[in-house]
């Protein structure tokens, strides 16, 4: 097996490996669709309930070549009524995944609660509900930090100033 290092790749090759594709999420299940699409639809339908809206559209943006030696970002983009919600999963090379949510381009508090995955429908819906109802999450997981977490990780959440404590 040949080990490839990112620094050995040309800038063009690095860009190609980091390229993404955007796929719309249909309202009805399509035979053979990826689980990412199905999960995004389920989250969109749940967000209708949370927001009280009646219309939605969604799309997924994912890497075309998900290889372990290039940083990757996946996005779920929702338009729920008049809100534009973006959920981002970021996987830096050699580090752990983290998730963040933006509503109309502004980051909101997001964390994984006990028994919930940070990228799951329940965690996303709860963060959106808390945002819309002006309710705070538990604070950052860094000791004595009162800030709201903006990056969810498995088992918790960190503010931007303390994220480095988790993602070594």
In a domain, 11, yes or no: no
In a domain, 70, yes or no: yes
Q: How many residues does this entry show for the chain?
A: 168
Report the pLDDT value the prediction gives residue 9, as an integer from 0 to 100: 64
Report the pLDDT value the prediction gives residue 3, as an integer from 0 to 100: 45
Partners of 125 in beta bridges: none
Parallel, antiparallel, or unpaired for β 106-108 and 98-103? antiparallel
pLDDT at 76 over 90: yes
DSSP state of 59: E
- Residues 87-120 have pLDDT tens digits of 999 888 777 789 999 999 999 999 988 788 899 9
Question: pTM of the prediction?
Answer: 0.85
Contact 125, 53 (CB under 8 A): no
Our count of domains for the chain comes to 1
Partners of 22 in beta bridges: 61
In a domain, 5, yes or no: no
In a domain, 48, yes or no: yes
Report the pLDDT value the prediction gives residue 139, as an integer from 0 to 100: 93
In a domain, 8, yes or no: no
Give the residue numbers spanning the domain of 160: 18-165
Contact 76, 84 (CB under 8 A): no
In a domain, 140, yes or no: yes
Closest of 83, 78, 77, 128 to residue 137, by C-alpha:
128
In a domain, 1, yes or no: no
- Residues 143-161 have pLDDT tens digits of 999 999 999 998 889 999 9
pLDDT at 6 over 70: no
């Amino acid at each position: 097996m040949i080990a490839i290092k990112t620094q050995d790749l040309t800038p063009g090759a690095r860009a190609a490996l980091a390229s993404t594709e955007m796929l719309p999420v249909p309202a009805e299940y399509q035979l053979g669709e990826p689980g990412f699409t199905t999960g995004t639809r389920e989250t969109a339908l749940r967000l209708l309930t949370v927001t009280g809206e009646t219309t939605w559209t969604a799309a997924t943006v994912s890497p075309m070549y998900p290889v372990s030696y290039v940083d990757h970002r996946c996005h779920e983009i929702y338009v729920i009524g008049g809100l534009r919600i973006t959920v981002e999963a970021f996987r830096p090379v050699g580090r752990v995944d983290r998730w963040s949510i933006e509503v109309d381009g502004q980051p909101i508090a997001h964390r994984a609660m006990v028994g919930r995955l940070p990228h799951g429908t329940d965690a996303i819906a709860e963060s959106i509900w808390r945002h819309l109802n002006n309710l705070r999450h538990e604070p950052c997981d860094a000791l004595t930090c009162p800030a709201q977490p903006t990056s969810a990780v498995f088992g918790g959440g960190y503010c931007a100033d303390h994220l480095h404590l988790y993602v070594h």
